[in-house]
Amino acid sequence: MLAVLSPGQGAQKPGFLMPWLDLPGAGARLRWWSVLAGVDLVRLGTTADADEIKDTARTQPLLVAAALLAAEQLSGGSRTAHRPAGLHDVAVVAGHSVGELAAAALAGALTPESAIALAAVRGREMAAACASQASGMAAVLGGDREEVLAAIDSHGLYAANHNGTGQIVAAGASEQLEKFAAAPPPKSRATVLKVAGAFHTPYMAAAEQALATVAAGITPAEPNRILLSNLDGSTVSHGRELLQRLVRQVTAPVRWDLCMQALVDLGVTGVLELPPAGTLAGLVKREFKNRTGPEVVALRTPDDLPAARDLMARHGMVPNRPVATSGRSQSTGRSHEPATQFRVVVSASAGTFEPAAGLAEGDPITAGQLIGYVTTRHGPVDVAAHDDGALTEWLAHHDDPVAPGQPLARISGSAL
């Protein structure tokens, strides 16, 4: 099973889009998206210096555009309104912070144009919020997790990013950050980051409100692949819920640790990070340092496209040709048949899952049909399919403990 990841702010480097401009159609796409973003994405990705591209108002649309541009180039640059090309066999998508907007487009929930426009608004409004108060962020490496979180709270700060084992980012008022960094928790070190403000904290409340106003005018589609949320690592199955989460994420912590745990729970075997790649690939590798993890490819330049396509060929999932092994479906190989659209049914409650008796992978499903139930402390909660299709794969099994938002089953739909 293959996951594609989109990086967030801080991953950009001067000139990182330069080699991509040599590919057919790439310059035209960036010029069109520049109109939507209100910034010159071509110049920002090629000749702008480090100081200019760390400006939040410029960085955020630039990062979303870079990820979507590379996604289109994975199969020669063609695309459709709600589906960048080259991703037919991708089962899971996720993005870190603003990268969630690119992931939403890769999942078909937003058009690339909507994702770019929202990133531009998000970036401008977050930059304005940063300018209104002296705030910032500090990376904390090492230490006991609970002790680190307690120390962050005791200084009046917020844990803004949970990036995985041994890495938490604190955020808040600049004066408190300096004090915290000067005396970090035991066995940890803290470094104040060169960022404009306290992202993913209440300091961004004005930006959240502004983004909500714009997002209200967008009609999202339903995600057509597993889309993981930064809010809690759960799968987002409905477009309107996705927009609400994207807006809420401006002031809510980034739980990238839970997103990586979801990759484990889903059985992901291959991870591809889109440009400007490296940061998320590094976090995944670090998380799996002492255990077997997924194969990881960082797509930095067009020279990495062959490796990316090879990863997709070997780990890509073809939902209409599953072979059951160890309770999970794996592809029998690349198919020339049309890719099958699927929906993921998730749990609404914490408890233990029980599939419906007699229902097996491959069986036809109708909208509203009960596929199982979750036993909770207050009794059973029915789990029903939202669409017609076929039960492609169980993602939870008899008596498996499940959490709210956890994927339970994948149901295939019409061909794309």
Give Cβ neighbours of residue 32 (< 8 Å, ≥ 6 apart): none
- Measured CA to CA in angstroms, residue 351 lies from 98, 210, 255, 323, 348 at distances of 32, 37, 22, 28, 10
- Measured CA to CA in angstroms, residue 138 lies from 151, 227, 275, 300 at distances of 13, 28, 24, 26
Task: Name the strand (E) or helix (H) holding 322.
Answer: strand 322-325
Phi (first) and psi of residue 273, to 5 degrees: -100, 130
CB-CB contact of 371 with 355 (8 Å): yes
- Measured CA to CA in angstroms, residue 86 lies from 4, 139, 295, 339 at distances of 11, 35, 19, 11
The catalytic position among 97, 135, 234, 349 is 97
Residue 228: DSSP 8-state: B
Report helix, strand or coil for 266: helix
The Cα–Cα gap between 81 and 265 comes to 31
How many Cβ atoms sit within 10 Å of the Cβ of residue 273?
30
The Cα–Cα gap between 171 and 134 comes to 11
The catalytic position among 200, 331, 349, 412 is 200
CB-CB contact of 247 with 215 (8 Å): yes
Annotation marks residue 97 as catalytic: yes
Question: Is the four-CA dihedral 269, 273, 278, 280 of positive or negative sign?
Answer: negative
Specify burial of residue 56 (Cβ count, 10 A radius: 0-12, 13-18, 19+).
buried
Residue 304: DSSP 8-state: G
Distance, first Cα to last Cα, the chain: 19
Per-residue HEC secondary structure of 66-103 comes to HHHHHHHHCCCCCEECCEECCCCCCCEEEECCCHHHHH
Edge-to-edge strand order for the sheet containing 370-376? 379-384, 370-376, 351-355, 400-402
Please name which of 261, 255, 201 lies closest in space to residue 230, comparing C-alpha atoms: 255
Residues noted as catalytic: 97, 200
